[in-house]
Amino acid sequence: MKINDAFNSLIVRSAAATIFATGLAAGVSSARGAGGDVTISNGGLSVTFNLAWGAAVVGISNRNVDNGLNIVDAHDVGRLLQEDQFLYQYVDGSQQLMVNPVQAGASGGYPYYQHPNGSSFPEIGSPVVRWSANANQFNAVIAPLDYNAGTPTAWDYVESVEITPQGVANFSYTCYSHQSEAYLMGTEIPTLYTDRTDAFMYPTSNGSVHTIAGSPIWPQPAITSYGWIANIDRQDNLGVFYTTPVGFPEVFGTFPDASVLGTGAAQLPLGKTKVSPVLIARPSEVFSNEFSVLVATQQLGPALISQQEPAKFATTASTITNGVFSANAAAYGAPPGYSSVGGNPVNPTAWITYGNSGVNGPDTGFYGSDSYEPFAPSSPAGVGDFAFMQWRGAFIAQAVGTVAGQSYTLTFDAAARSGDSSAVLEVILTNATKGSQIVTLKPTITDTGFIPFFLNFTAASGSSNIEFLNNSPAGVDDTVDVSNVSLVAVSDPATLGLLASGGLALLLAGRRPASMAAP
């Protein structure tokens, strides 16, 4: 997957806001400052993202507070403001970390708060599949890598950030799980590492503001969130304040001896705050969180952050059944995987098929030691089992229950068989009787690997039909592939900032105003 370089070397200026983007070659992993930074700003508050590190946040500053000093720790990709999950399973009676999808990505397994002094850190950034920005908005789709192995995971992250005229950054993350198994999951919403941190502030149950100074050592006893927390640099009289979901446990503290990297390393101690709920992550679920961030003085910050809308964290189950096509994959024992051929099932569980369609993937009965996937793209990384549709007119479809007038987001990963560069996939959404077409999409797919796509629509009836159709040129033996299909109801699809290619527009709307401007 290649990084969209449409904004490379771009500088767009307006009277009140500026966006900066430095050049970044596709696929390049670099240290911050070596290329790939994108900064959005309202003229006061600025947020900087690094495309080489999975569009993670490497800087948050306010030019009106201590001349725009940034205290977000950007000297270790594990310390950036980013989305990540910790997925555990019990193996031989003990809980073991199995997968750790991280926005910045990694390879080498170094602890988050350590850094080899003066040496290159052997990490690679998670691919940014698509991104877009204007003066005060940034949006990206990320294919997160596993932190420990540096390999693709069965997750997609959507990141959307908007800076309001009042100087508040509204963050929205939507995380799509395509795991075929359930995991015990710890998710961080968010974790913030900051340099020069010697105090923390948070509200109490009676509404008063409590300050813990003296660089308290990590981890301090967990507290209950009453709406926000802040990392404070008392020497420079600034703090990074962010909203947190009420009722969740918060943990904070400092690492006074944490090592930092080379030239330009910021000052210790390193501070850390996090909110990390633990839950069961089931296949095809969607996890979303929204929170607000501002930079202010210790004196004004508490009042400003208290006026922001509470942070939100939600889990939504997909209404698609067998979106990863593994439910009866083992029954596909006859290669190359056509349905109803050689004793293979008539259809993948919960789907109907037409034409030369079927299932490939590691759970099929014919996959074997040679990893036989005849209809796969050249690199099927990040996807397990998948449905294929060979020749024009072949399709798979599923009818799902919907609510008329309700907004939904359909997500899926799509590709073409290796060598089928002219393959065309069409996605068609209709009511259950196909008498009323809702929307169609022809995403731009490749034969090199699976790419995530997103489609928003409003249901027209109590049931909707989702169809993936091979619309390749007539008479050409082209195959299209689909996996990781998910459908969830959304309260405000515009806030997801979903990006897609092939004609689907970027959707992003302001989430909320703030009644007081940040200093």
Q: What is the pLDDT of residues 268-293, one digit of tens each?
A: 788 999 998 888 888 888 899 999 99
Q: Would you say residue 122 has pLDDT above 80?
A: no
3 state SS of 467: strand
Three-state SS for 315-376 is EECCCCCCCCCCCCHHHCCCCCCECCCCCCCCCCCCCEEEEEEEEECCCCCCCCCCCCCCCC
User: Which string of DSSP letters, residue by residue, matches 12-56?
Assistant: EE-SS-EEEE----TT----TTSS-EEEEESSSEEEEEEGGGTTE
238, 71 Cβ separation under 8 angstroms: yes
Q: Which residues contact 93 (CB under 8 A, 6 or more apart)?
A: none
399 φ, ψ (degrees, to nearest 5): -95, 130
pLDDT score of 48: 94
The dihedral of CA 254, 256, 259, 265: what is its sign? positive
Unique residue bearing structure tokens 């911050």:
32
pLDDT score of 422: 95
Alpha-carbon distance of 254 to 271, in angstroms, equals: 4
pTM for this prediction: 0.78
Identify which of 384, 342, 340, 382 has the alpha carbon closest to the alpha carbon of residue 360. Answer: 384
Identify which of 358, 383, 362 has the alpha carbon closest to the alpha carbon of residue 479. Answer: 358
DSSP strand pairing (479-489 vs 18-21): unpaired
Measured between its terminal Cα atoms, the distance across the chain in Å is: 41
Domains belonging to the chain, first-starting first, are 11-316 (2.70.98.90), 329-496 (2.60.120.260)
C-alpha torsion 263→267→268→273, nearest 10: -100
Q: What is the pLDDT of residues 328-337, one digit of tens each?
A: 999 999 999 9
pLDDT score of 258: 67
Report DSSP state, residue 475.
Answer: T
Alpha-carbon distance of 466 to 59, in angstroms, equals: 41
Q: Which residues contact 484 (CB under 8 A, 6 or more apart)?
A: 154, 156, 176, 178, 323, 324, 383, 411, 412, 413, 450, 452
Tokens representing residue 292 in the block = 């607000």
pLDDT score of 266: 52
The dihedral of CA 128, 132, 133, 138: what is its sign? negative
- Average pLDDT rounded to a whole number, residues 405-415: 91
The mean-pLDDT minimum among 132-136, 238-242, 255-259 falls in 255-259
Q: Would you say residue 494 has pLDDT above 70?
A: no
Q: What is the pLDDT of residues 206-234, one digit of tens each?
A: 989 999 999 999 999 999 999 999 999 99
Q: What is the pLDDT of residues 10-36, one digit of tens each?
A: 222 222 333 333 332 222 223 333 448
Identify which of 59, 6, 3 has the alpha carbon closest to the alpha carbon of residue 32. Answer: 59
- pLDDT classification of 426: cutoffs 50, 70, 90: very high
Q: Indicate the average pLDDT of the chain.
A: 82
Tokens representing residue 318 in the block = 């997909």
